[in-house]
C-alpha cells in the first residue's frame, strides 16, 4: 500500500478536505476526551524549529487517540549536533514510530524526508514552503464560522515567507474563494505560489492597504512578519510594525467579519481586538486538536 504522506496543500481536493473536517467535527462532538482507536501507535515529533501549538496539539491528538509520542527534543541535544543528516535521522526514527511529524527550516525538507522512509511523513512546516495541517485547522475554523462557500477573504502580512498562507491560499481554490492579498510589495506572494494559484484558477487581487478592501471581507487572515526568514535584519525592520490592526482599523469592517491568525502574534493584532466578536484566533488554535486527531486517525 502507498504510504500517505502529507507534504503540501497542493494535493488536497475538496472531497478529501471535507472528509477530514467531518471527522474532526465528529471527534469534537464526542463526549469522551480519549478516543482510544490507536492504542499501539507511536508518533515521532521531529521539530528542528520552535513550535508551541503544532507540537503540543499533535502530542495531545495522538494521546487522545490512545497512542504515544516520542520527541527528538532540541536540535542541540540530538545527534544533529554531531552532524547527522536529516535523511539519516528520519531513517532511524522511522524504525521507532508509525508516523513522523517534521518541522524544518529548509523548504522541501518534508518532501525529501518522505523519500527515505516508508512511514507517513506529515509536514509541520518546511521553511517558507508549506504548512498543510495548519491549513486543515484553518479550513475547519472557517467552515464553522463563516462557511467555505462564497467566501471573500483578505490575507494580510508576510505573504512571501508565510508558509501558512501558501498552503491556505492553494487549498481555498478548491472552494472558489475570492482572495485579496494585502502586503507590502517586498512581502508579496512568491512567484511559484502565484503560479500554482493561477493554474488552479484562483480569484486573487493584490492590495497595499487593508482599508481599500476591508468592508467587503467575510474573513481577515492576519500573519506575523517572519523575522527569522529575512536574510538581512534591516529588511525586517523596514516592514515590521506595518499591517497591524486595532479597534480603529476595524471601524469599516462588516459586523460578521471574523479575524484569524495562525499565531504566534507579535504586534499585528492589538489585544483590544481579542474582546470583540471578530476575534476567533484562540479558538482556531484549539481546533488543532480535533483536526489533527482526524488527520492522524486517517493516516495511521
In this structure, what DSSP letter does residue 245 have? B
**Toward ligand NCD, which CB reaches closer, 38 or 160?**
160
Could you give the string, one character per residue 64-103, with x where binding to ligand NCD holds by CB under 6 A and - elsewhere?
Answer: ----------------------------------------
Least Cβ distance, residue 105 to ligand NCD (angstroms): 11
Question: Footprint of ligand NCD on residues 2-61 (CB under 6 A)?
Answer: 53-54
**Toward ligand NCD, which CB reaches closer, 123 or 179?**
123
- Of 16, 73, 64, 15, the residue nearest 46 (C-alpha): 73
- Of 286, 297, 257, the residue nearest 138 (C-alpha): 286
Least Cβ distance, residue 150 to ligand NCD (angstroms): 27
**Toward ligand NCD, which CB reaches closer, 3 or 74?**
74
User: Cell numbers 516520542 label which residue?
Assistant: 70
What's the rounded Cα separation, in Å, for the pair 116 and 257?
44
Q: Does residue 157 belong to the site contacting ligand NCD (CB under 6 A)?
A: no
Residue selected from 64, 104, 130, 131 as contacting ligand NCD according to rule CB under 6 A: 131
**Toward ligand NCD, which CB reaches closer, 168 or 214?**
168
Instruction: Specify the 3-state DSSP secondary structure of 87.
Output: helix
Question: Footprint of ligand NCD on residues 206-235 (CB under 6 A)?
Answer: 224
Q: Does residue 160 belong to the site contacting ligand NCD (CB under 6 A)?
A: no
Residue selected from 8, 141, 164, 183 as contacting ligand NCD according to rule CB under 6 A: 164
Instruction: Specify the 3-state DSSP secondary structure of 100.
Output: strand
Q: Does residue 287 belong to the site contacting ligand NCD (CB under 6 A)?
A: no
- Of 121, 131, 140, the residue nearest 49 (C-alpha): 131
User: Cell numbers 472552494 label which residue?
Assistant: 175
Containing 260, the helix (H) or strand (E) segment is: strand 258-260
State the cell numbers at 148.
Answer: 467555505
Residue selected from 89, 134, 174, 183 as contacting ligand NCD according to rule CB under 6 A: 134
What's the rounded Cα separation, in Å, for the pair 273 and 218?
16
Least Cβ distance, residue 214 to ligand NCD (angstroms): 22
State the greatest distance between any 2 C-alpha atoms of the chain, in Å, as a whole number.
55
What's the rounded Cα separation, in Å, for the pair 56 and 174?
29
Least Cβ distance, residue 2 to ligand NCD (angstroms): 27
Cβ contact 267:225 at 8 Å: no
Q: Does residue 262 belong to the site contacting ligand NCD (CB under 6 A)?
A: yes
**Toward ligand NCD, which CB reaches closer, 207 or 229?**
229
Q: What angle do CA 94, 100, 104 make, to 5 degrees?
A: 115
Q: Does residue 127 belong to the site contacting ligand NCD (CB under 6 A)?
A: no
Q: Does residue 263 belong to the site contacting ligand NCD (CB under 6 A)?
A: yes
What's the rounded Cα separation, in Å, for the pair 128 and 144?
28
Cβ contact 226:161 at 8 Å: yes
**Toward ligand NCD, which CB reaches closer, 38 or 292?**
292
Q: Does residue 163 belong to the site contacting ligand NCD (CB under 6 A)?
A: yes
Residue selected from 67, 120, 125, 290 as contacting ligand NCD according to rule CB under 6 A: 125
Binding site for ligand NCD (CB under 6 A): 53-54, 125, 131, 134, 163-164, 224, 262-263
Amino acid at each position: 500500500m502507498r504510504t500517505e504522506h502529507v507534504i503540501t496543500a497542493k494535493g488536497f481536493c475538496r472531497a478529501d478536505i471535507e472528509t477530514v473536517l467531518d471527522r474532526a467535527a465528529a471527534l469534537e462532538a464526542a463526549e469522551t476526551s480519549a478516543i482510544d482507536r490507536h492504542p499501539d501507535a507511536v508518533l515521532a515529533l521531529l521539530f528542528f524549529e520552535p513550535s508551541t501549538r503544532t507540537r503540543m496539539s499533535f502530542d495531545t491528538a495522538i494521546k487522545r487517540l490512545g497512542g504515544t509520542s516520542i520527541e527528538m527534543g532540541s536540535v542541540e541535544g540530538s545527534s544533529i549536533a554531531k552532524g547527522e543528516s536529516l535523511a539519516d535521522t528520519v531513517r532511524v526514527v522511522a524504525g521507532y514510530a508509525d508516523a513522523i511529524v517534521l518541522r524544518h527550516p529548509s523548504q522541501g525538507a518534508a518532501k525529501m524526508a518522505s523519500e527515505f522512509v516508508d512511514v507517513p511523513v506529515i509536514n509541520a512546516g518546511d521553511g517558507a514552503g508549506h504548512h498543510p495541517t495548519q491549513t486543515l485547522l484553518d479550513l475547519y475554523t472557517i467552515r464553522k464560522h463563516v462557511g467555505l462557500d462564497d467566501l471573500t477573504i483578505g490575507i494580510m502580512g508576510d505573504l512571501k515567507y508565510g508558509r501558512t498562507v501558501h498552503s491556505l491560499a492553494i487549498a481555498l481554490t478548491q472552494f472558489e474563494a475570492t482572495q485579496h492579498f494585502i502586503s507590502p510589495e517586498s512581502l508579496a506572494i512568491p512567484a511559484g505560489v502565484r503560479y500554482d494559484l493561477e493554474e488552479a484558477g484562483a480569484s486573487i487581487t493584490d492590495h497595499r492597504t487593508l482599508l481599500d478592501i476591508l468592508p467587503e471581507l467575510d474573513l481577515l487572515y492576519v500573519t506575523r512578519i517572519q523575522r527569522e526568514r529575512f536574510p538581512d535584519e534591516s529588511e525586517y525592520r523596514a516592514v515590521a510594525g506595518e499591517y497591524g490592526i486595532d479597534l480603529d482599523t476595524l471601524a469599516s469592517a462588516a459586523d460578521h467579519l471574523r479575524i484569524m491568525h495562525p499565531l504566534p502574534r507579535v504586534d499585528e493584532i492589538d489585544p483590544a481586538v481579542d474582546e470583540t466578536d471578530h476575534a476567533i484566533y484562540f479558538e482556531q488554535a484549539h481546533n488543532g486538536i480535533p483536526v489533527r486527531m482526524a488527520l492522524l486517525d486517517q493516516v495511521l
